[in-house]
A and B are shown apart, each in its own frame.
Chain A
């Protein structure tokens, strides 16, 4: 190659690298494939991740664990349990009763998708599934409120029980909104934060309303 005769590597550019030769087969400890592990390990790992996120929601502080490793198991479990607990409401006719299972499901998931789209369209930097994950996990306080409401309604359905339920649902609504805002607010442009927080407020308000107006048979 006569053209390359005068190509020289300058003394300033260090040339470094690694040459390894695979020796033997990998020992089982260094194998990163999770295909061979016992099923219990797989399930426990996912359960631990979900549980850790629940703890993050109940004690919200700015941590990136919720955002970085998103998963939708937690939101699914919460949504299904909330929708199940909202069943069994009384109705004179089918049309006047509380929300059906499908309605609760659709409101939660469709609402979360719309809020995520809204925040992305306004210029947010959070990814789609991360936002869904946060919004879904922050339904946890309201699920707890629903549980408490059903327990209170087992005892009695008068004015006192209504006031207790109102206070509990109100407190959990505030907790949900604050938790999700704490996680999502940083990813928004600063002069549009209120535009992003308001739909989240509306979303949890609607869910709280469904919980508060639940009347048993």
Chain B
């Protein structure tokens, strides 16, 4: 008889675990009638959410929230916890990259592509590629610009790689952190329908940097007009993805704060592009031959006129 009782207790334990993980699951049990009204309540809420379904991309956001909670159940000091952030296949990464470059009007990047599976693979490797692309393209572009000059001596400018790395990784991690903190703070004041987790914001920012990789390669072309057209073009594409992602999160707020937030997001994005262009790529089309001034310590310093 003790064995039977132990077995029943084990069953109850299992059921309790399942319930803890899935409080919205329909359970038929005699001693818990409170479950059923909760289900009805969530069902009543759904018609009100339909207008946001297009932007949300799915009409069972409850379930996706729960699934997100279920997935990352390993404690954070185990390796398996971090493996959940790399649970993507090749085609998923490619889809997300495509989604960041070609914004679909009315669709939200996070809900459409990420769907509660934010990955760290994309942001990390896109940033790494961008760092080296900017450094290499800047070096190549400077080489071609100064090629004909007799006094020019090619240098690899390797120090700029570390500067590029610091800047880009800081942008890809600190700006999402600040934005997430800000959104959490506003969320406590104003009830927002849409709220993003920190990793989802990191994901969006990481993938939105992808457009700068081909842009940096094309910046090798030593024409000012071409470079600025590229800046504006890439800014439009990735900026629109960012705006469409974050507008639903702030639009219920005070109108001025919402507009200021979105404007800041765009401004920082533009600042990154312009800053990289100005620092890593020398200005082309020097009309006046640069005079050579011997500096006091004996090395020759070439002054450039912009």
A159 to chain B, nearest CB (A): 11
CA distance A123 to B285 in the complex (A): 50
A121-B85, A202-B132, A213-B139 known; A90 vs B90 contact (CB < 8 Å):
no
Interface size on A, residues (CB 8 A): 31
Contact with A along B149-192 (1 / 0, CB 8 A): 00001111111000000000000000000000000000000000
Whether B18 sits at the interface, judged by CB under 8 Å, is no
Is A97 touching B155 in the complex (CB atoms < 8 A)? yes
Q: How large is the interface on B (under 10, 10 to 19, 20 to 34, 35 or more residues)?
A: 20 to 34
Asked whether B299 lies within 8 Å of A89 as measured between CB atoms, the reply is: no
Q: Does B125 belong to the interface (CB within 8 Å)? A: yes
Q: How far does the alpha carbon of A20 sit from the alpha carbon of B153 in the complex, in Å?
A: 78
Nearest residue (CB) in A for B158 is: A99
Which of A96, A121, A205 is within 8 Å of B155, CB to CB? A96
B31 within 8 A of A: no
Any B CB within 8 A of the CB of A171: no
B136 and A90 form a contact (CB under 8 A): no
Across-interface contacts of B129 in A (CB, < 8 A): 202
Does chain B have a CB within 8 A of A209? yes
Q: Does A118 contact B (CB under 8 A)?
A: yes
**Residue from A90, A123, A198, A213 within 8 A of B153 (CB atoms):** A90
Q: Are A195 and B90 in contact (CB under 8 A)?
A: yes
Is B155 touching A118 in the complex (CB atoms < 8 A)?
no
Residues 58-102 of B contacting A (Cβ, < 8 Å): 79, 82-83, 85-86, 88-91, 93
Across-interface contacts of A215 in B (CB, < 8 A)? 153-156
Asked whether any CB of chain B lies closer than 8 Å to the CB of A93, the reply is yes
The chain B residue sitting closest to A98, CB to CB, is B156
Instruction: Report the bound CA distance from A103 to B157 in whole Å.
Output: 13
Q: How far is the CA of A96 from the CA of B143 in the complex (A)?
A: 13
Is there a chain B Cβ closer than 8 Å to A92's Cβ? yes
Which of A96, A98, A191 meets B89, CB within 8 Å?
Answer: A191
Sample 25 A-B pairs with CB under 8 A, ordered by A number. A89-B156, A95-B159, A96-B156, A96-B159, A97-B158, A98-B156, A98-B158, A121-B86, A121-B121, A191-B90, A192-B90, A193-B90, A194-B90, A195-B89, A195-B90, A195-B121, A198-B125, A199-B128, A202-B128, A202-B129, A202-B132, A206-B132, A213-B139, A213-B156, A215-B156
**B residues neighboring A (CB under 8 Å):** 79, 82-83, 85-86, 88-91, 93, 121, 125, 128-129, 132, 136, 139, 153-159, 299
